[in-house]
Amino acid sequence: MQSFIKKYSIFLMLYIIFQPVLDAVTGVMAQARIDVTFGVLIRMAVMAVTIFYILVFLILNRDNKHGFRVIGYFILLGLVSVIGLVINYKTKELFIPSLEITILAKSLYYPIMLLGYFYAFEELAEDRIINRFFPKVIFVAINIISIIMIVAHFTNTSFSSYAYYKLGESGWFYAANELSAIVSIAFPIMIWYALKKISTWSRIYYWISIVLAIYSALLIGTKGSLLAVLFGTCMAILASIVQLFRNKGNRKFTAGIIALLVVTLGGVFAAYPAMAVSRTAELHNDMIKYKKKQAKTKKGITKDQKKYVETNKTVSYLLSGRTVYFENAAHNFAKATPAQKIFGMGYATSFKSEKRAKLVEMDYIDIFFQFGFIGTIVYLAPLIYCLIYLLGLFLMKFKYMWSTKWAMLVSSVALGFGMALMTGHVIEAPSVSIYFVAVLGYAMLNAHIFLRTNEDPFTIDVED
C-alpha cells in the first residue's frame, strides 16, 4: 500500500499536465456538438480513486484523531448534499436528476482533490521528490495552453470568447471564463518558476514562456486574465525590490530581474489597446448607450436589461451583468421553502426549462443558493480553514513573505479566491479548481511546516 501511495502521489502531480489536453479535447467535441463529457468522465474517475487514496493514506498514517475528523467531515458533507437533493426533488418546479447529480459531483471535486494534493505533497516532501514536480507541472500545463492558443489563433481555428461580439479567443477550449481563471491562478506560479530558473542571463529563454502566457491571456479578452497578469507582475516587482535591499549578494542580477519585470509590465500596457480586452470595454459602454436609447423608444427594453443599465457602470463592467442574475436568483431563494433555505435549492435555484437555468457566476453566491445556510458552511469549511490559516501565517511571518516563492504563492491563492467572486467558475469547475487546490495544498504544506518548526521550509522549492 505504501508503494501505491507514492506512485499515486506522483500521478497527481503529472495529472496537472494533462488538464489542457482534457480541456482541448472536450472543447473540440463540444464545438462539434458531440454530447460526450470526456473531461468530466476522466475527472470523476480520478476523484473516485483519490477518495480511495485518502482512505489508504489515513490508515497508513495511523493518526486516528485526524482521520476521524477528515472522514467525519466528508460524511457530513455527503449527508448535507443528499438531504439537499431529496428536498429539491420533492420541491423544485423542474428537477432534472442527471443535471443535479452531475453538478453536485463537480462541486465535490474541490474538497476531495484539495485533501488529495495536500497528502501527495506531504508524501513527496519527505525525500524532496516534490521539488521535481511542483511548480514545474503547472509551468508545463500553462505552456501547453499557450501553444494551443497561439496555434489556434494563427490557423484561424480559435473559438470566440464572446460569441455575440465575435470578440476574444479561447483557442480550442470551450469556456473562456474558465480558461481565464486557469491562466490567472497559474500566472504567478509561472513567474516563480521562471525567475528561479533564470539563475544566470544565459537562461533568459525561460522568460519566453511568460511572454507567451501573457499574450495568450490578452487574447482571451476577459478582464480577469488582464488584472491577474498585472497583479502577478506587480507583486513580483515588489518582492524583487524587497530582495534587492535585503540581500547583499548579486544586486546587479536582482536589479536586472526588476528591469525585466518592469519592461514586461510596460509591454502589457503597450499591447493593451490592440487586444480584445480593450475592445470589450468599449463595446460595454456602447451597449449601455444603445440600451438607454432603446429604452426611450416604444419597443423599450426588458426588466433584466433595465436592471443592467441602471447598475453602476463600473460595477456592471467588472461583473458583466452578474448583478442581474443575482437579483433573479435572490428572488427565487426568497420564495423557497425553509428546508431549501437551510439545505439549498440545487443547481440555478428555480427554472422552468434547462435552457433558462442561469447561474450568477460568482462562486460564493452560487454556492450559497445551491447549498443553503447550513450546506454552505459545511461545503466551504476547508476553504475557510485554509484562508484563516494562511492569513495567520502571512501576518505572523510577514517579513518572510517577500521571497519569490512566498510572494507568488500568496498572489496565486489571492487570485484564486478573488476570481471565484469576480468571474466564477473556480471552486465548482473541476477544470479550474484542480489548479487552485494544487496551489492551495502546496501553500498549506509550507505554512504547516513553517508554523510547526518556526523555520521557513526553503528546501521545498524549485529544483535547479
Report pLDDT for 35.
Answer: 66
Give dist(CA 129, CA 261) in Å, integer.
Answer: 30
Quote the strand ranges of 78-210, DSSP E: 160-162, 167-169
* Domain assignment present for 330: no
* Domain assignment present for 359: no
pLDDT tens for 425-437 read 899 999 999 999 9
CA 207 to chain centre: 23
* Domain assignment present for 352: no
Number of separate domains in the chain? 1
Partners of 162 in the β-ladder:
167
| Residue 286, amino acid | D
Of the chain, the percentage scoring pLDDT greater than 90 comes to 61
Inter-CA distances, 343 with 95, 249, 373, 374, 429, Å: 16, 57, 6, 6, 21
Q: Is residue 112 over pLDDT 60? A: yes
Give dist(CA 292, CA 295) in Å, integer.
Answer: 5
Q: 216: closest CA among 263, 169, 264, 278?
A: 169
User: Three-state SS for 169?
Assistant: strand
Give dist(CA 231, CA 238) in Å, integer.
Answer: 11
Give dist(CA 46, CA 50) in Å, integer.
Answer: 6
Q: Which residues contact 169 (CB under 8 A, 6 or more apart)?
A: 149, 152, 153, 158, 159, 160, 161, 219, 220, 221, 276
Report pLDDT for 390.
Answer: 96
Report pLDDT for 340.
Answer: 94
What average pLDDT does the chain have? 87
Give dist(CA 323, CA 315) in Å, integer.
Answer: 9
Over residues 120-138, the mean pLDDT reads 92
Inter-CA distances, 454 with 392, 396, 397, Å: 14, 11, 9
Give dist(CA 90, CA 97) in Å, integer.
Answer: 12
Report pLDDT for 87.
Answer: 95
Q: Is residue 309 over pLDDT 60? A: no
pLDDT category at 464 given cuts 50, 70, 90 is low
Give dist(CA 219, CA 271) in Å, integer.
Answer: 11
For the ranges 78-87, 437-446, 451-460, the lowest mean pLDDT is seen at 451-460
For the ranges 154-168, 367-381, 402-416, the lowest mean pLDDT is seen at 154-168
Give dist(CA 162, CA 222) in Å, integer.
Answer: 9
Q: Is residue 306 over pLDDT 70? A: no
Q: Is residue 165 over pLDDT 80? A: no
**Polymer length in residues for the chain:** 464
Q: Is residue 10 over pLDDT 90? A: yes
Report pLDDT for 287.
Answer: 57
* Domain assignment present for 80: yes
Contact yes or no for 176/162 (Cβ under 8 A): yes
Over residues 402-427, the mean pLDDT reads 93
| Residue 218, amino acid | L
Q: What is the pTM of this model?
A: 0.91
Report pLDDT for 343.
Answer: 95
pLDDT category at 29 given cuts 50, 70, 90 is confident
Report pLDDT for 71.
Answer: 93
pLDDT category at 327 given cuts 50, 70, 90 is confident
Q: Which residues contact 153 (CB under 8 A, 6 or more apart)?
A: 169, 171, 219
Cis peptide before 338 (omega within 30 of 0): no
Over residues 43-50, the mean pLDDT reads 95
Report pLDDT for 15.
Answer: 96
What stretch of H or E contains 263? Answer: helix 251-271
Of the chain, the percentage scoring pLDDT greater than 70 comes to 88
Partners of 160 in the β-ladder:
169
Mean pLDDT: which of 54-63, 186-195, 343-352 is highest? 186-195
Contact yes or no for 160/219 (Cβ under 8 A): no
Locus of grid cell 426533488: 89
Q: Which residues contact 28 (CB under 8 A, 6 or more apart)?
A: 172
* Domain assignment present for 314: no
For the ranges 150-159, 194-203, 298-307, 316-325, the lowest mean pLDDT is seen at 298-307
DSSP secondary structure string for all residues of 202-221: GGTTHHHHHHHHHHHHHHH-
Contact yes or no for 216/145 (Cβ under 8 A): yes
Contact yes or no for 436/410 (Cβ under 8 A): no
Give dist(CA 449, CA 457) in Å, integer.
Answer: 7
Report pLDDT for 278.
Answer: 73
Give dist(CA 192, CA 345) in Å, integer.
Answer: 41
* Domain assignment present for 28: yes
Q: Which domain holds residue 9?
A: 2-278+373-453
| Residue 406, amino acid | W
pLDDT tens for 348-404 read 888 888 887 888 888 999 999 999 999 999 999 999 999 999 999 999 999 999 999
Over residues 103-119, the mean pLDDT reads 95
Q: Is residue 338 over pLDDT 60? A: yes
Report pLDDT for 138.
Answer: 96
Give dist(CA 276, CA 257) in Å, integer.
Answer: 29
pLDDT category at 207 given cuts 50, 70, 90 is very high
* Domain assignment present for 334: no
Report pLDDT for 425.
Answer: 87
pLDDT tens for 258-284 read 999 999 999 999 988 878 777 766 665
Report pLDDT for 314.
Answer: 54
Q: 437: closest CA among 117, 9, 186?
A: 117
Q: Is residue 69 over pLDDT 90? A: yes
Cα of first residue to Cα of last residue in the chain, in angstroms, is 31
